[in-house]
Structure 1
Amino acid sequence: MAPPLGDIAHLGHVELLTPDLDRSVWFFTTLLGLTENGRSGDSVHLRTWDDYEHHSLTLTAHSTSGLRRTALRTSSEEALLRRVKELESAGRAGRWVEDEPGIGPLYVTSDPDGHELALYWESEWYEAPPGLRPGLKNQPQAKPGQGVGVRRLDHVNFLAADVDSNATFTRDLLGARPTEQIVLDSGKVAAQWLTFTNKSYDVVYTEDWTGSSGRLHHIAFATDTREDILRAADLCLDSDVFIETGPHKHAIQQTFFLYVYEPGGNRIELCNPLTRLVLAPDWPLITWTQAERARGQAWGLKTIESFHTHGTPPVD
């Protein structure tokens, strides 16, 4: 039986690997508007202005790019222990660590594809220093005065050798519910969008055309408005940041988007999905056919080839 929706409260934060730490930090702070909130070893911890936790993103120096960890906060300590018990019963036993500032014990496991997932409950609420205190007491931090000013970490899109097994894991053991998917003429699930909340999606599994396991397609940050995404495109152009595609509108999930490569090589999406929520408790899974998906975006340019082939870490 699938666990009740709500044991996982939300997507907490992610850790990205980068071979160019300084330039990656520049991209996320100066261009996107995140705030640095501490360093530990070869890692830099950054936060979006509307996040209540210590960090939204950790950048870690590495020989290559990619995703090291995706952290999910549970809705209570009891919910955390329930998920740990179910994971261990299903053969997905992990390990307990305390290796992130502002975060209590994390239970680190992985999905069938090998993506590292960490579940936690204890979390330190951010208190802005004098220079970053907001004018409103119900806002964690003042809005940034530079860059795009992204509001929050929105979702993670995992590349997977087998979408169905990973989506099933996320549904049955973590309590996500699927909202949309792509099913090929062969019956194979090529992608599935899943949510832990009333957002239309928090995580996505997309077929890795290389057949590799454990890679990243992109992480996404939400903006306040569509105009912020247009501003981001101009800032990327001015700063010689590679724009892969967009701004366009997705047909699936209806997201207005821009995809760029940060200096470390990871694909980053800037998106504006803030007006679309899934409030129905009996939301039907929407299936897109191979022919419908081949039509591309709702509007804008056709999907370019690199969107299906680029992932991190890179493979030959």
Structure 2
Amino acid sequence: MTTPRAQKVSLELTPYYHCISRCVRRSYLCGEDEISGRSYEHRRQWVEDRILELAKVYCIDICAYAVMHNHYHLVVHLNRNKAEQLTHTEVIERWEAEHQLPTLIQRYLHEPLSMGETKRCEALIEIWRQRLYSLSWLMKELNFEIAKQANQEDGCTGHFWEGRFKSQALLDEKALLTAMTYVDLNPVRAKVNPTPETSEHTSVKRRLDSLAQNQPTPSGLFPFIGYEHQSQSEGIPFRLMDYLEWVDYAGRQIREDKPGYINPHQPDILSRLSLNQTECLKLCTHLEQKKCLWIGPPKQLQRVKQHFNKQRIHGISL
């Protein structure tokens, strides 16, 4: 039985989510069709550009992403505080970037309105404000645009994506680290690329390219702010260099066909989170294979059960 989206996404429990959306066609989202020989590799850039474009409009921060042959992954942070701090005009400007404004809203921006009309406008603006941090709306607009472009290119109609996108709630920092590592190492595990720095159309590659240009955070991605959160109020609660070191370490352990072996060492981030290496490596390998909607420690999973008044949930305990 399908679980309602309202029981998969709850900002009262966590703002972090891992999303997966798969293509329904044999010809793949990207890559090369083995039968026709036609290459769809350029569609990877479509997806990556669209993700980063929507990140500028929505109050949803992109922590990690990876665009694969027939699916893509996203790890996001739903930033309700950011949306609630926007003025009415800022909400309208963001919404207008992707949608045509109703005539009444255009009048609201340029001329005085009656009290009734103003209330109608303000009610509509509040609806848009809520949509700006809605995971469902982000995924809908991302998938719709890619499907539209692909259908135009293929000269056909019909579904491009496999039903609804899948989402997993990340209940604490350990779950966030696990999901981001899983996503950034997807091309390595699939043997598409040998290392994270050669994995095109992934967030880790974009971050590494940005570092090479002396830019700590590339445009469109949620910044790493370190353990003590330093002077920034919002961001991923790890140090970037610790995360990159951990991704490299985890990637070496997961790659069974890699001839080299690095001496066991533990990045600082493991000590901070008290994360068991064997457990995390197993989760990073099988995260999507297991049926789970919630990832976190036992206490947090129990909180989810109580929140939704459930006796059982599909979860992975860290």
TM-score greater than 0.5 by the shorter chain: no
Task: Quickly name the TM-score band, shorter chain normalised.
Answer: under 0.3
**Structure whose alpha-carbon radius of gyration is higher:** 2
TM-score (norm 2): 0.27
More helix by share: 2
TM-score (norm 1): 0.27
